[in-house]
Every structure is written in structure tokens, then in C-alpha cells.
Amino acid sequence: MGTMNQFIVFKLASEEFGVEINKVQEILKPQPVTKLPQAAGFIEGITNLRGDIITIIDLRKRLDFPLNDQGEDRILVVKINDIDVGFVVDDASEVIRIEEEQIAAPKKGIAGIKTEYLEGIAKLKERLIIILDLDKILSTEDQIKIEEIAENHQ
């Protein structure tokens, strides 16, 4: 038996995604967001989380997925290169254990997502879970802009 890793599973549209649990600091219900008029389209704005300014990014917009109007949104707060970022997802439902052997290398064009954003595809019985590499979802340029946003609103 190989190494087991824990993943938080969340949904975007009808697809299930996973991120390593150690990358996620917390999962929040929707928060009041201050819009930033000059920000990129996928940046929802900023929110004050216990005194820290967090940039909120709609992962659906970032990955060109349809927007959800079900009202079940969750925010995954993650740290990317020492920057706290909140990713809006449709729902964050569970924590699962996946053996490394169950994760296949990403194939081109899975769910229309750029291959560099993917760590792999986990095959679990009847489920396929797309494992995202959140560190690569934001370009270096995006990360610099997000850091500037946070610094300008402290």
C-alpha cells in the first residue's frame, strides 16, 4: 500500500475537484466582499477575515466554468507563496483519503482546464476527482497583483 494523502473535495459545475488538505487553511461560507473596479475579471474583491485582508477569487471564472446560482458557495482559504487567497467554489463537501497509486497523470484538456493547473486525476470507484495545483492557478503576475491589493488595503 502506497502513501495516502488527504484531499478536500469541492465542486465546480458538475465536476468534482480535490486539493491537498494541507494547502487549505479553512472553508468559509460566503463573506461580504468589497469590489475592486480595476481588478481582473476573476477577482471578486477583498474581504476582512479576522483583521487580515484576503483577496477573493472566483475559481469558476478563473477556469472558465459556468457560474452557479444555487447559493451553496464556499470559500477555500489557501496560502499561495505566503499570500492568503480565498477561492469561491460551488460546494466543499468532504475530506477523502487517496492513495498515490490512484492518481493518474493529467491528460490534456480534462474538463477544458489547462494541463499545468492539474496535479492529476484520482480514480475512486465510480468517481473521477480532478486534483488541482492551486499554486499554478495564479500566474506570477496575478500573485504580484493580489499581493499589492492586500498591501494597499491593510
pLDDT value of residue 154: 66
pLDDT value of residue 17: 95
Contacts of 139 (CB under 8 A, 6+ apart): none
Phi, psi (degrees; rounded to nearest 5) at 125:
45, -110
Cross-strand bridge partners of residue 118: 132
> What is the total count of domains within the chain?
1
Cross-strand bridge partners of residue 143: none
pLDDT value of residue 144: 79
Whichever domain contains 61, its CATH number is 2.40.50.180
pLDDT value of residue 1: 58
- For each successive 10 residues of the chain (154 residues), what is the average pLDDT? 87 92 93 88 92 92 81 89 90 91 84 85 91 86 79 72
Q: Which helix (H) or strand (E) holds 15?
A: strand 15-20
Cα separation, 6 vs 98, in Å, equals: 6
pLDDT value of residue 46: 93
HEC assignment per residue over 58-71: EHHHHCCCCCCCCC
The residue segments making up the domain with residue 80 are: 4-152
pLDDT value of residue 23: 92
> Is the pTM higher than 0.75?
yes
> Cα torsion for 33, 37, 41, 43, to the nearest 10°?
-30
